[in-house]
Amino acid sequence: MDFTFFNQLMLILALSAVTIAFFKRFQLPESLGYLFVGIILGPTTSGLIQQDFDIALLAEIGVVFLLFTLGLEFSMKTIMAMKKEVFGLGGLQVLLTGVGIFGILIAFDFALLTSFVCASALALSSTAIVSKELTQSNEIRSRQGQLAIGVLLFQDIAAVVFLIMIPALIGGGSDSIASSLGFAFAEGVVFVVIMLAIGKWVLPHIFHEVAKARSEELFVLMALVIALMAAWLSHAMDLSMALGGFVAGMMMGESHYKHQVEADIKPFRDVLLGLFFVSVGLMLDMDVLVTFWKEILLGTVALIVFKFLVIYTLTRTFAESKNISLRTSLSLAQGGEFCFALVALASQYGESGGNLTSVVLAITILSMIIAPLLIRNSNAIVKLVKFDKSEQSIHRIKEEEVRKQTAHIHHHTLICGYGRVGQTIARFLTQENKAYVAIDDDPIHVHEAGLAGDPVFFGDCRKLELLMAVGLERASQVVICIDRPENALKILQAVRQKSPEVPVLVRTRDDSQSDALKKAGATVVIPEVLESSLVIVKHALLMLGMNPIRVRQRVHEARTKGYEILNGFYPGISDYLLENDKKTYRHAVTLGKKCAADQKTIESLDFKGTDVSIVEVRRDNMVLQPQVGMILNAGDIVVLTGSNSDISHIEKLFH
């Protein structure tokens, strides 16, 4: 039995594990790690993996799963809510960038088809890198984040179109390009319509039966079968397998099982997609890279500058400020993973592109390495550029429109954040005929609320100008319903800057930021987790037959004492794995004989410089509340509360 394939696959996986761990430590994209593995093992570098290594099919399945997950997120509601950004800005970006690069390559006497493939590939940006970086920097819902996502949505659509066009262009003769394209698009439309019809009328019944079986393995198997069956059908129709994966994702995207399918498919997608990037690295000819290294560096700079200028010009044309235009352009100025997919598809159909392919792949890889640095340092770059005062005029115009629409509203509740909590508050206010105005940075929330006629406006709640435009100074109260406590704190500070007396209610996930919010001026801070715990406790005590009046008193006492009884919890494995964790935990310690705390009063213990306190003392099967003058004895179980690091520092007093 020939173990050559198995040996080489094991070599790839082992080196990938080490490389990905190294790249993650330096916060570099995993995709670049896999590319590095392919380059190191390639036939023109170490020669450990030969050109005839049969990894192509596994790699292509990885691309199928990538397109499948993109299809799951392909929501028509999102596209319609952002149609200006998607079709306007995104469409023009792909068109102008593609045409510009195509013209440059033709001017350098490259072949027509090769130029088209490379121009199409380089016109697209990296969805994975941009979305990940914007999410980590909490800018995914900012204006520049929404513009970037809108452009990336159109690029995903364009990539599917290119997946149809490239096989048709390469496969058709010079006299039949138009007919080949027409036939390919007709096939694509028929395929999409049939698959979507199956997704609407057939798949729900199938998955309903699968769900009734309550078998996780069956659910995963069915998701894999659907993705691969769609890819097989598209391949049988002489279309790209990746197109089949995308359409399969669209089929599942509107179902109730979307998120479960996405979670189940992710491990397969990530590993197989990693093999795809390894296969791209194997395609790179190091001899070409060494020979053309100057052209690669120059090409990388040219690509970033050209895409930056195109996107910046378009965003300014779409009446965006210089600040937002600059940030958006920096986010999208790189090449993307679809470049590899399109080049690999062209090679599969016989259009290798020669040295140009290796140069284009190298330019894309280098630009993707630079991309996270540009996105993460966009704030610093913006500060280096001096804008004149006219850049604020666009925002003033938009805020003036909001001001006009809300000028008649007085003594209202200003809701910052229109998610589930914000919408619940709005519904109760509506039932009581109380006025409200809401601000949210999710365009879907704003779009759907606008269809119902609700006074909800798109924007960043942290901006004082927008808060003033919706009538902050006329508001009876402000309710902040933002998940991220750091953003809630900035909103609170902006509110207090102009309205120091208005009541402000802040909803938080837990009590980790309660003190900071209260110091910043919050009237009431409501920790969601603690409040839900109290509701459950109330019902549990009532079901035990306790006196309802006593139960209400205990719950009221817990609230008035700032949820003191709920402070902290015993940590689990996941909590110990968190670095720089500032949550409040509980930890029980048994006093040892002759320890530093033995025969000492509680107030005499040195807890200075920490957030540690004693919440309970358990002695002789009794739970005692800590009091001034209480003396601790050996054998007492002392329950501490505080952060993990501070508890670890104090714990030595009790041993």
Helices 258-283 and 4-25 sit at what angle, rounded to 10 degrees? 110
In this structure, are residues 481 and 416 in contact, taking their beta carbons and an 8 Å threshold? yes
Q: Which residue in the block uniquely carries the two structure tokens 């210089």?
A: 322
The predicted structure's pLDDT at residue 576: 45
The predicted structure's pLDDT at residue 579: 43
Q: 457 pairs with which residues across the strands?
A: 439
CATH class of 58-382: mainly alpha
Q: What is the mean pLDDT of residues 261-289?
A: 78
What is the distance between the alpha carbons of residues 221 and 382, in angstroms, rounded to a whole number? Answer: 48
Q: Which two tokens mark 199?
A: 């997704």
The predicted structure's pLDDT at residue 485: 82
What is the distance between the alpha carbons of residues 557 and 565, in angstroms, rounded to a whole number? Answer: 10
Q: Does domain 392-522 have CATH number 3.40.50.720?
A: yes
Q: Which two tokens mark 652?
A: 């030595």
Beta strands in 346-460 (DSSP E): 413-416, 436-440, 456-458
Weakest mean pLDDT among 47-51, 83-87, 229-233, 635-639 = 47-51
- Grouping H, G, I as helix, E, B as strand and the rest as coil, residue 237 is coil
* Residues written for the chain: 655
33 — pLDDT class (breaks 50, 70, 90) = confident
The predicted structure's pLDDT at residue 420: 84
Would you say residue 503 has pLDDT above 80?
yes
The predicted structure's pLDDT at residue 101: 94
State the DSSP code for 463.
-
- For the chain, the average pLDDT equals 81
Q: What is the mean pLDDT of residues 252-270?
A: 74
Output the CA–CA distances (angstroms, integers) from residue 28 to 59, 145, 449, in the order listed.
21, 20, 39
The predicted structure's pLDDT at residue 578: 47
141 — pLDDT class (breaks 50, 70, 90) = low
Q: Which residue in the block uniquely carries the two structure tokens 């390009």?
A: 177
Listed in sequence order, the residues at least 6 apart from 322 whose beta carbon sits closer than 8 Å to its beta carbon are 316, 385, 387, 391
Q: What is the mean pLDDT of residues 486-508?
A: 91
Q: Does domain 573-654 have CATH number 3.40.1580.10?
A: no
Of all residues in the chain, the percent with pLDDT exceeding 90 is 17
Bigger pLDDT: 317 vs 47: 317
Q: Which long-range contacts (CB under 8 A, 24 or more apart) does 520-525 make?
A: 520/489, 520/492, 520/493, 520/496, 521/492, 521/493, 521/495, 521/496, 522/492
Question: Which sign does the torsion angle of CA 315, 142, 78, 455 carry?
Answer: negative
Output the CA–CA distances (angstroms, integers) from residue 252 to 62, 69, 118, 146, 234, in the order listed.
18, 10, 32, 24, 17
Per DSSP, the residues of 136-150 read HTT-TTSHHHHHHHH
Output the CA–CA distances (angstroms, integers) from residue 634 to 387, 599, 617, 624, 630, in the order listed.
68, 8, 12, 15, 13
Rg of the chain on CA atoms, in Å: 30
What is the distance between the alpha carbons of residues 633 and 602, in angstroms, rounded to a whole number? Answer: 11
353 — pLDDT class (breaks 50, 70, 90) = low
Beta strands in 96-241 (DSSP E): none
Question: Which sign does the torsion angle of CA 167, 168, 172, 175 carry?
Answer: negative
The predicted structure's pLDDT at residue 172: 59
Q: Alpha-carbon dihedral of residues 368, 372, 373, 374, nearest 10 degrees?
A: 90
Q: Which two tokens mark 289?
A: 């890279």
* pLDDT tens digits along 414-428: 999 998 888 888 988
Q: What is the value of pTM for the model shown?
A: 0.64
Q: What is the mean pLDDT of residues 276-285?
A: 78
Give the angle 601-604-605 at the CA atoms, nearest 5°. Answer: 100
* pLDDT tens digits along 52-111: 556 666 667 777 877 787 777 666 666 777 788 888 999 999 999 999 999 999 998 888
Bigger pLDDT: 592 vs 491: 491
In the sheet with 585-590, reading across from the earlier edge strand, the strands are: 585-590, 637-642, 613-619, 622-624
1 — pLDDT class (breaks 50, 70, 90) = very low
Domain residue extents for the chain: 58-382, 392-522, 532-566, 573-654
Q: Alpha-carbon dihedral of residues 513, 519, 525, 530, nearest 10 degrees?
A: 40
* pLDDT tens digits along 535-544: 788 888 888 8
Output the CA–CA distances (angstroms, integers) from residue 535 to 46, 199, 231, 313, 505, in the order listed.
64, 41, 49, 54, 19
Question: Which sign does the torsion angle of CA 253, 256, 259, 261 carry?
Answer: negative
- Grouping H, G, I as helix, E, B as strand and the rest as coil, residue 254 is coil
* pLDDT tens digits along 162-204: 888 888 887 655 556 667 677 777 888 888 888 888 887 888 7
What is the distance between the alpha carbons of residues 116 and 596, in angstroms, rounded to a whole number? Answer: 77
Would you say residue 575 has pLDDT above 60?
no
583 — pLDDT class (breaks 50, 70, 90) = low
In this structure, are residues 166 and 347 in contact, taking their beta carbons and an 8 Å threshold? no
3-state class percentages of the chain: helix first, strand second, coil last, to nearest 5: 65, 5, 25
- Grouping H, G, I as helix, E, B as strand and the rest as coil, residue 504 is strand
- Exposed/middle/buried for residue 457 (C-beta within 10 Å: 0-12, 13-18, 19+): buried
Q: Which long-range contacts (CB under 8 A, 24 or more apart) does 284-289 make?
A: 284/38, 284/39, 284/42, 284/44, 284/358, 284/361, 284/362, 285/44, 285/355, 285/358, 286/39, 286/42, 286/44, 286/45, 287/44, 288/355, 288/358, 288/359, 289/358, 289/359, 289/362
Per DSSP, the residues of 420-438 read HHHHHHHHHHHHTT--EEE
Give the HSE-up count for residue 74: Cα atoms under 13 Å, Cβ half-sphere. 23
Would you say residue 153 has pLDDT above 90?
no
The predicted structure's pLDDT at residue 551: 85
Per DSSP, the residues of 67-84 read HHHHHHT--HHHHHHTHI
Q: Which two tokens mark 228?
A: 């691969």
In this structure, are residues 33 and 16 in contact, taking their beta carbons and an 8 Å threshold? yes
- Grouping H, G, I as helix, E, B as strand and the rest as coil, residue 601 is strand
> Which residue type does 616 have?
E
628 — pLDDT class (breaks 50, 70, 90) = confident
Would you say residue 491 has pLDDT above 90?
yes
Listed in sequence order, the residues at least 6 apart from 367 whose beta carbon sits closer than 8 Å to its beta carbon are 300, 303, 304, 333, 334, 335
Domains 392-522 and 573-654 share a fold: no
Would you say residue 574 has pLDDT above 50?
no
The predicted structure's pLDDT at residue 314: 94
What is the distance between the alpha carbons of residues 171 and 521, in angstroms, rounded to a whole number? Answer: 68
